[in-house]
Structure 1
């Protein structure tokens, strides 16, 4: 999952941004391909990478973006004013349930049913520039993606070691339904050992009325 908002370093000049001026715009596949480098720049500017690791993070982001663009139903939103303030993208979870491969234990029945009916949308990246004044931009981006696709349930995976991102998703109403194991970077020829991820879902829309109470949020061990 992409980096979320961070505070600018002390002494760093902030880029003025009005929350009311930030607008959301949907890009098609061709536009997303054309803006790959700009989106990667946004990722680096928004990341919490240690000095010297920016290049590696940028290349990893570009591989993920390239792979997701090829997926059926891929959709990307950008938030912009005079420059990009953020982006979010994802794709519909396949009905056969391949998204949940590697889930530890039994998938909740409601999640399995919504997946089979085609009402689950996976949000695979959320990036928000640290200088935007729109404190609610990340939430706006994810809700707009789900609404545009008439999804009843959002799904995402968060590295269990990334406590900042995990806590942010919980604060937006996402529910932890369990652990998953995935290759750390499935786009490389020889992926390293699987990483432990938390599977999160966000009930959205009338089909999930009352489901928010079904999932018992669990803190990672």
Structure 2
């Protein structure tokens, strides 16, 4: 039931979006085989409250520019896992929102999920405690962009990532 609770909470967030994948077998109706959903991170940085330590400057800059999208959940049918469906769903979701950075929180005790996200290119940038309690979450980010010698992290470091001049720094009302 925690999946349904998270979905019900997130669907109310401004900018919520979900990508789904269906598969069709001969003579059968399409069947849901995967989904990924999330929402834009507020420009005011409030989503990061609970982050332990200093937030990396690039992440802070992209948050202020409105270019960070939080992936809340990725679910893929076991028969589809080896086909790259999870990576495709997250990529479509992030690019459809013109995000420069994906962000997610994963329970550090869930080693399988942490390993899966890392195998899809997500980078661990620290830990997060929210709400205050014993559960420690790993903060993972996925830079969207080409990596090069000048940009080894793949993050955008240019005027496009700056907050618009004179724009309200507050984004949609999300965590």
Same fold by TM-score, threshold 0.5 exceeded? yes
**In 1, Cα distance between the equivalents of 2:120 and 2:53?**
25
Corresponding residue for residue 138 of structure 2 = 198
SS in 1 for 2:61: helix
Corresponding residue for residue 115 of structure 2 = 167
Specify whether residues 133 and 121 from structure 1 end up closer, same or farther in structure 2 by C-alpha distance, changes over 3 A only: closer
Corresponding residue for residue 14 of structure 2 = 72
**In 2, Cα distance between the equivalents of 1:206 and 1:118?**
19
Q: Is 1:156 the equivalent of 2:92?
A: no
Q: Deviations over 1:170-196 (max 9, x none)?
A: 11111110000013xxxxxxxx83410
Structure 2 counterpart of 1:102, from 25, 50, 55: 50
Q: Cα RMSD between the aligned structures?
A: 2.1
Between the two structures, name the one with larger relative contact order (CA 8 Å, sep ≥ 6).
2
* Post-superposition offset of 1:205: 2.8
Corresponding residue for residue 120 of structure 1 = 68
Residue-pair matches, total? 148
* Structure 2 unaligned blocks of 5 or more: 24-29, 156-175
**In 1, Cα distance between the equivalents of 2:113 and 2:104?**
11
Q: Which runs of 4+ in 1 moved over 4 A?
A: 206-209
- More helix as a share of residues: 1
Q: Deviations over 1:61-115 (max 9, x none)?
A: 1111111001010000110022000000000000011111100000000000000
**In 2, Cα distance between the equivalents of 1:151 and 1:71?**
17
Preserved contact between residue 71 and residue 104 of structure 2 (Cα < 8 Å):
yes
Please, what TM-score do these two structures have when normalized by structure 2? 0.79
* Structure 1 unaligned blocks of 5 or more: 1-58, 184-191, 215-221
